[in-house]
Homo-oligomer: A and B are copies of this chain.
């Protein structure tokens, strides 16, 4: 269902000839049929933000959008003034077809950095796509497929809470790192919320979901998460509950990104507990999730805890105060490191499940944090030494 699960939204997914793979579905359209046209967005903090990010960041400042056009196959990033003009022209074409103005149209692009869009194909794709717009399940599914790049499967979410609905789709598989994964995510809801409420809920939700996954430590130029609200349910939700709903949707989609991490054979949950602060726990968890050596070991089904402690051993004491001689590390429930020294034999750890749980206790407080990541496989290298589309 994805973005059409919430009432008041139409979508389409089609092949516009943007991707270098002939016939690949590479354009998604999402239209908010109202009555509201509320929009909020969160974007990459990369200083080389792509043209569509620069464009859409301005749009959400107004708090309103009629819809969004997303293309895969080209990121339109690091393309200078000409790239920004392309995003504007894309928004203008969508606006004309939708009977609105360009400043109410969000644009998203994903693919290779440093290449301009084949603009003719984008514009003819919008023209071709509008008649296909539908509020149907099929249309939502088609849109969720059109935004994929190296993803092996579409990622969707549908939540129904107290009379209102929230649907969503996301793409993301590589170039996934803290401060938003490399991804484009569209969430839709038929709840009645203001732009300010949507923005607050979305920021809270992304900070504990997309900001807490790390496939390969690489931050993208194109990260975009938008939340569109149609108000079509007529239901005005309790804001705490609404924020929890948006958070749940984001967490589900973030988890799916990790599950589809490029070439991955394990999903790794790194939890740090008993820390002096959440910041300390996060810093340690992120350090482990960023370790190539540890991630290679997991790929080889090796519960190499030395690579875990040596990773979070690099976090400065000012950030994470703890005594290395008190730390414990469990892998899949086996305490392999006890008091900074060898614990149970590593041979006891069963590394065959897809999910690997690393539990680190710092014994310096009561705060905690979790980061999800993937292992580092031959296939990841293969994908990323070949990728050029």
Binding site for B on A (CB under 8 A): 45-48, 75, 77-83, 112-116, 174-175, 177, 179, 216-221, 290-293, 296-297, 299-300, 302, 304-307, 309-311, 313-315, 317, 324-325, 336-337, 339-342, 346, 376-378, 380-388
Contacts and interface: CB of A to CB of B under 8 A. Distances in A.
A179 to B, nearest CB: 8
Given A293-B384, A385-B296, A385-B297, A341 B113 contact: no
B378 A48 contact: no
B174 A293 contact: yes
Contact of A79 (B80, B221, B341): B341
Nearest 3 CB-CB pairs, A to B? A113-B306, A300-B385, A80-B341
A79 B305 CA distance: 12
Contact of A381 (B310, B317, B380): B380
A342 B80 CA distance: 8
A181 to B, nearest CB: 13
As for how many copies of this chain the complex holds, the number is 2
B310 A175 contact: yes
Nearest to A327: B48
A382 to B, nearest CB: 7
Nearest to A265: B385
Given A115-B342, A306-B114, A217 B384 contact: no
Contacts of A336: 114
A53 to B, nearest CB: 12
Contacts of A290: 217
A84 to B, nearest CB: 10
Contacts of A324: 47-48
Contacts of A302: 385, 387-388
A325 B80 contact: yes
Given A296-B384, A381-B377, A310 B218 contact: yes
A107 B317 CA distance: 26
Contact of A46 (B80, B174, B313, B346): B313
Contacts of A317: 47
